[in-house]
A and B are shown apart, each in its own frame.
Chain A
Amino acid sequence: AQKITQTQPGMFVQEKEAVTLDCTYDTSDQSYGLFWYKQPSSGEMIFLIYQGSYDEQNATEGRYSLNFQKARKSANLVISASQLGDSAMYFCANAGGTSYGKLTFGQGTILTVHP
Chain B
Amino acid sequence: GAGVSQTPSNKVTEKGKYVELRCDPISGHTALYWYRQSLGQGPEFLIYFQGTGAADDSGLPNDRFFAVRPEGSVSTLKIQRTERGDSAVYLCASSAMTGGDTGELFFGEGSRLTVL
Chain A residues close to B by CB (< 8 Å): 4, 33, 37, 42-47, 50, 52, 91, 93, 98-108
A108 to B42, CA, bound (A): 6
A84 to B112, CA, bound (A): 27
B109 touches A101 (CB 8 A): no
- Is B105 in contact with chain A by the CB < 8 A criterion? yes
Contacting A98 at CB < 8 Å: which of B91, B99, B110? B99
A44 touches B45 (CB 8 A): no
Contacting B109 at CB < 8 Å: which of A43, A104, A107? A43
B interface, how many residues as a size bin? 20 to 34
Chain B residues close to A by CB (< 8 Å): 31, 33, 35, 40-45, 48, 56, 59, 89, 91, 93, 95, 97, 99-110, 112
A106 to B42, CA, bound (A): 6
Neighbouring B residues of A43 by C-beta, 8 Å = 89, 109-110, 112
What total of A-B pairs shows CB separation below 8 Å? 64
B45 touches A104 (CB 8 A): yes
**20 A-B pairs in the complex with CB atoms less than 8 angstroms apart:** A37-B107, A43-B112, A44-B107, A45-B91, A45-B107, A91-B43, A98-B100, A99-B56, A100-B101, A100-B102, A101-B31, A101-B48, A101-B97, A101-B103, A102-B33, A102-B48, A105-B42, A107-B40, A107-B42, A108-B42
